[in-house]
Structure 1
């Protein structure tokens, strides 16, 4: 809607996990490196936590971009609020199994056979469970632990990455046997003010902006109100660009950002 006004190829602040817009802050780079290591070295399980909107899902998409499709078979579970059988069926389906069985015992046999087939074909299997903090059924965590029992010659037949909000860490720690299987743990913090400025500039650059309309004092206010959380930064910046077009301005300063935040209750 405002792309032409600001000279943009596309909207730079959409809250969708598009890896093209991935901003490689020092901590995002570290998180991605640890996730890649866990997957490539078949370490079993990894845990990535962070507050809502800090970029966990986008990190998962960035990870997928790094993994060769002919080497890795990946299942992504975006809505894990399921019971244990539904979760196993979802995993089986997302790994490409057809005629997914109803019975748990048959499901586990099918999944194990598929993992072995992938290994024989030179492929590594990865399961990414996003929003894992929403899992309410403790039996699902037990099934995750049991899936990690699928090994061959002391090598895990799959890697499981659990992504979620901070409370996920406590849930995992309360399940001792699963907690012991977590080889990688990382907490994704909020962006600093400097990183917030770089983040905004990066997304504008990806959208092929001819210039950055956000003045330094505007970024200070954006950081103050967003707390350095990417999702909130996106929301404020997107609304400011829309309102800026409506006001006919070409630069966005702190007073305008404050006005936008108050007017739109951001």
Structure 2
């Protein structure tokens, strides 16, 4: 039996899969989601979200993808892990994301771009839809891929842009996109996701437990444990989830009623020891 069932939970509360049901909206995430939805509705073109690994970018993109259709006639398309070996491969991935048929043999880049342009015009102008593309892990894009996206952003009528583009990337992406000045200047929204503070860490833990079906009679995590979790994870949601998962497993194994600061410190110490063993001596 899974540990969470032994705790009376219906679901795994601290999975690192980007399940929108367990996405805790901190003040920063709520602001990002709100501003991105506004940017898409107003057809502003290009939006950029930056954040370190584990700050919730992927889950934010999933949440955005599920909420945008309720804002109006919006087509939402998503590309994950956009590593491509050629511009042709990149444009084929775009066509597939837009549910377009790709001819065989695959035509040259110019022909693929023209096909995408016709699709954007058909959906945006003729059908009155807002075509939106979300690209997660955008730091994997090649400079030539970014140039093609810039070309797609050139497609517009007198009063609307035919493509709404949201790029979500790690902070290392910043120099790459700033180097393409005529793309950088097109960004209508720039947003940086930061780690959670201690209070938000506490709220995240409680929220996830509640979503998993925990009827909080007595807290599963002592306040001192939450402080230790925040100190150890520096407020990164993915790290918090991993540490809390390990803590609940240990709680069940040790037949203890509550996660304590000592338990958290022992888990952190063990993880550091394992990391030390895994790193070869110089």
Equivalent in the alignment of 2:183 = 178
Equivalent in the alignment of 2:149 = 144
| Aligned-pair CA distance for 1:81 | 1.3
| Aligned-pair CA distance for 1:122 | 2.1
| Aligned-pair CA distance for 1:154 | 3.5
The answer as to whether partners of 1:75 and 1:91 remain within 8 angstroms in 2 is no
Counterpart-to-counterpart distance in 2, 1:253 and 1:156: 53
Equivalent in the alignment of 2:241 = 234
2:166 aligned with 1:161: yes
Equivalent in the alignment of 1:109 = 114
Counterpart of 1:224 (choices 231, 243, 252) is: 231
| Aligned-pair CA distance for 1:210 | 1.9
Counterpart-to-counterpart distance in 2, 1:214 and 1:233: 13
| Aligned-pair CA distance for 1:22 | 1.6
2:123 aligned with 1:123: no
Give SS of 2:69's match. coil
The answer as to whether partners of 1:48 and 1:185 remain within 8 angstroms in 2 is yes
Counterpart-to-counterpart distance in 2, 1:4 and 1:112: 51
The count of aligned residue pairs is: 265
Structure 2 unaligned regions, length at least 5: 276-282
Give SS of 1:67's match. helix
Equivalent in the alignment of 2:83 = 81
Deviations 1:162-205 (A, max 9, x none): 11111212211111000011000000000000100001101111
Structure 1 unaligned regions, length at least 5: none
Give SS of 1:184's match. strand
Counterpart-to-counterpart distance in 2, 1:84 and 1:226: 38
The answer as to whether partners of 1:23 and 1:202 remain within 8 angstroms in 2 is yes
Counterpart of 2:222 (choices 209, 215, 218) is: 215
Equivalent in the alignment of 1:38 = 39
Counterpart-to-counterpart distance in 1, 2:39 and 2:87: 25
Equivalent in the alignment of 1:6 = 7
| Aligned-pair CA distance for 1:102 | 2.7
Deviations 1:197-247 (A, max 9, x none): 001101111111122301100000100010000000000000111111111
Give SS of 2:221's match. coil
2:18 aligned with 1:47: no
| Aligned-pair CA distance for 1:91 | 0.9
Counterpart of 2:205 (choices 200, 207, 231) is: 200
| Aligned-pair CA distance for 1:84 | 1.7
Deviates more, 1:149-158 or 1:215-224: 149-158
The answer as to whether partners of 1:73 and 1:95 remain within 8 angstroms in 2 is no
The answer as to whether partners of 2:82 and 2:140 remain within 8 angstroms in 1 is yes
2:104 aligned with 1:97: no
Give SS of 2:228's match. helix
Deviations 1:4-57 (A, max 9, x none): 211111011100111111211111011101111111111010000000010011
Counterpart-to-counterpart distance in 2, 1:48 and 1:170: 14
Counterpart-to-counterpart distance in 2, 1:209 and 1:124: 40
The answer as to whether partners of 1:46 and 1:183 remain within 8 angstroms in 2 is yes
Counterpart of 1:134 (choices 129, 140, 144) is: 140
CA RMSD of aligned residues (A): 1.4
